[in-house]
């Protein structure tokens, strides 16, 4: 099974599925393979038609079952010095090198290898393979797929997201929400501040309120939170605006992000800012200039994975791997989106996040072997 996984991994790495480019060749290759095994395969194209998500089912068409999930896209190799061709798998000292080897084509290869024995077994509950596009740029694929699955009534019981954790069990991570806020005021001469609407000034007032809300988040940290820091954080990433000392700036821009530890925190922050903009900032700006505007653009809103006391996926993987230590991590995954759908979710996959996105990315053979052990256990758990 390990040999087969390695051969599949070599094929997958050879598809240069960088997030900016199409993933269709790889999707069609996988779809053909799975259909040949008798799986029911559905592809969901994005608006451009250049990318697709896949949801494939092996076993009976009944509710429940397990989702094995991975993203098909990889980060670029631009400006990285590689010692081998990043899109050709090379082996050295039991390490398999190539772009995506650990993040996360190694896991996908293991699930595809496992699909063969699964398709020959009699299953009581289905195993679903879910492969998405554009995870690396804000989980765009999964965000489009989740409503599709809901519409089709497909809500499996649990999901295993195979991001590289060195097969450690991850039951929680923070979310990541990014915003760009644009302030449109009225330019004027610095000597007559009352005749203009100073966009930078309003941006600064907005940021000051944002920092006050960020401070308030500390007292909202959930009891026993294992995140570091324990609370939802806010970062002011970029503040832009202005021309010269004596000019009232008509435009300013603020980039900021937050990393929620619980779903309510994102609403808490957004509600506080919305209220401040609507009742304080905008009326003050429009008293001078009725066309003044504050536009907030959502760059990405990736749900966190909230650690829950009751988590069947975590318990199953713990039982299969014999590893009872569950952890939380600082990086985001698609897991939170599945949790929002009502599934119990765990993140556990081969390879290390330390190698992800780096030159000479690799996955160790031993990691793939451990992953196959876990998948064999999953297969047993759904067998009739
Ligand atoms: Zn990843």
Query: Ligand 1: distance of its center to the CA of 372 in Å?
Result: 19
Mean pLDDT of the residues in the chain: 94
Over residues 26-73, the pLDDT tens digits come to 999 999 999 999 999 999 999 999 999 999 999 998 888 999 999 999
Query: Ligand 1: distance of its center to the CA of 355 in Å?
Result: 11
Query: Ligand 1: distance of its center to the CA of 108 in Å?
Result: 11
Tokens read off for 292: 């003044």
Rounded Cα gap, residues 152 and 149, in angstroms:
5
**Number of residues in the chain:** 384
Q: Looking at residues 295-324, what average pLDDT do you find?
A: 91
Residue labelled with tokens 């330019």: 187
Rounded Cα gap, residues 210 and 269, in angstroms:
8
Q: So what's the pLDDT on residue 1?
A: 94
Query: Ligand 1: distance of its center to the CA of 267 in Å?
Result: 26
The rounded percent of the chain whose pLDDT value lies above 90 is 81
Query: Ligand 1: distance of its center to the CA of 290 in Å?
Result: 46
Q: So what's the pLDDT on residue 151?
A: 85
CB-side neighbour CA atoms (13 Å) of 212: 9
Active-site option among 6, 103, 135, 136: 135
Cα dihedral angle (272, 278, 283, 286), rounded to 10 degrees? 120
| N-to-C CA span, the chain | 22
Burial 182-213 (b: 16+ CB within 10 A, else e): bbbbbbbeeeeeeebbbbbbbbbbbbebbeeb
Q: Assign 143 a pLDDT band (cuts: 50, 70, 90).
A: confident
Q: So what's the pLDDT on residue 98?
A: 97
Query: Ligand 1: distance of its center to the CA of 73 in Å?
Result: 8
> Using omega within 30 degrees of 0 as the cis cutoff, is the peptide bond preceding 164 cis?
no
Burial 227-263 (b: 16+ CB within 10 A, else e): beeebbbbeeeebebbeeeeebbbbbbbbbebbbbbe
Query: Ligand 1: distance of its center to the CA of 136 in Å?
Result: 7
Active-site option among 73, 136, 171, 265: 73
Query: Ligand 1: distance of its center to the CA of 200 in Å?
Result: 37
Query: Chain centroid to CA 377: how far?
Result: 26
Around ion ligand 1, residues with a beta carbon closer than 5 Å are 103-104, 163
SS3 assignment for the chain:
CHHHHHHHHHHHHCCCCECCCCCHHHHHHHHHHHHHCCCEEEEEECCCCCCEEEEEEECCCCCCCEEEEEECCECCCCCCCCCCCCCCCEEECCEEECCCHHHHHHHHHHHHHHHHHHHHCCECCCEEEEEECCCCCCCHHHHHHHHHHHHCCCCCCEEEECCCCCCCEEEEECCEEEEEEEEECECEECCCHHHCECHHHHHHHHHHHHHHHHHHHHHHCCCCCCCCCCCCEEEEEEEEECCCCCEECCEEEEEEEEECCCHHHHHHHHHHHHHHHHHHHHHHHHHHCCCCEEEEEEEEEECCECCCCCCHHHHHHHHHHCCCCEEEECCCCCHHHHHHCCCEEEECCCCCCCCCCCCCCEEEHHHHHHHHHHHHHHHHHHEC
Q: Assign 303 a pLDDT band (cuts: 50, 70, 90).
A: confident
Rounded Cα gap, residues 13 and 221, in angstroms:
41
Query: Ligand 1: distance of its center to the CA of 187 in Å?
Result: 45
Distances in Å between the Cα of 309 and the Cα atoms of 160, 269, 303, 306 are: 17, 26, 18, 10
Is 3 a known active-site residue? no
Q: Looking at residues 9-33, what average pLDDT do you find?
A: 96
Q: So what's the pLDDT on residue 362?
A: 97
Contacts of 374 (CB under 8 A, 6+ apart): 167, 317, 320, 321, 348
Q: Looking at residues 210-235, what average pLDDT do you find?
A: 94
Q: So what's the pLDDT on residue 141?
A: 84
pLDDT of 23 over the 90 cut: yes
Over residues 100-126, the pLDDT tens digits come to 999 999 999 999 999 999 999 999 999
Q: So what's the pLDDT on residue 200?
A: 98
pLDDT of 252 over the 80 cut: yes
Is 306 a known active-site residue? no
Q: So what's the pLDDT on residue 247?
A: 97
Q: So what's the pLDDT on residue 120?
A: 94
Query: Ligand 1: distance of its center to the CA of 163 in Å?
Result: 5
């Amino acid at each position: 099974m390990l040999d087969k996984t390695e051969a599949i991994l070599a094929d997958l790495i050879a598809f240069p599925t960088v997030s900016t480019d199409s993933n269709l060749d790889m999707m069609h290759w996988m779809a053909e393979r799975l259909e040949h095994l008798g799986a029911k395969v559905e592809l969901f194209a994005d608006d451009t038609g250049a990318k697709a998500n896949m949801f494939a089912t092996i076993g009976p068409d009944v509710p429940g079952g397990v989702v094995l999930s991975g993203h098909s896209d990889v980060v670029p190799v631009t400006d990285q010095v590689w010692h081998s061709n990043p899109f050709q798998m090379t082996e050295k000292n039991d390490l398999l090198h190539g772009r995506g080897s650990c993040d996360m084509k190694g896991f996908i290869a293991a699930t595809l290898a496992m699909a063969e024995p699964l398709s020959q077994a009699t299953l009581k509950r289905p195993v679903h393979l879910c492969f998405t596009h554009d995870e690396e740029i804000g989980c765009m694929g999964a965000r489009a797929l989740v409503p599709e699955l809901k519409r089709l009534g497909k809500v499996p019981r649990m999901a295993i997201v195979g991001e590289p954790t060195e097969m450690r069990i991850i039951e929680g991570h923070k979310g990541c929400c990014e915003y760009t806020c644009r302030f449109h005021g009225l330019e004027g001469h610095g000597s007559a501040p009352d005749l203009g609407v100073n966009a930078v000034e309003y941006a600064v007032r907005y940021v000051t309120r944002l920092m006050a809300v960020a401070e308030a988040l500390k007292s909202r940290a959930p009891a026993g939170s294992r995140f570091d820091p324990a609370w939802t954080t806010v970062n002011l990433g970029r503040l832009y605006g202005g021309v010269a000392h004596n000019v009232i700036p008509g435009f300013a821009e603020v980039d900021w992000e937050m990393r929620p530890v619980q779903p309510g925190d994102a609403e808490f922050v957004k509600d506080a800012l919305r209220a401040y903009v609507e009742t304080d900032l905008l009326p003050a700006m429009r008293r001078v200039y009725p066309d003044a505007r504050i536009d907030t653009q959502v760059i990405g809103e990736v749900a966190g994975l909230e650690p829950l006391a009751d988590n069947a996926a975590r318990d199953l993987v713990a039982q299969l791997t014999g590893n009872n230590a569950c952890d939380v991590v600082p990086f985001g995954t698609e897991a939170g989106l599945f949790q929002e759908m009502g599934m119990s979710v765990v993140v556990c996959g081969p390879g290390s996040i330390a190698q992800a996105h780096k030159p000479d990315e690799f996955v160790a053979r031993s990691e793939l072997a451990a992953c196959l052990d876990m998948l064999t256990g999953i297969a047993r758990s759904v067998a009739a």
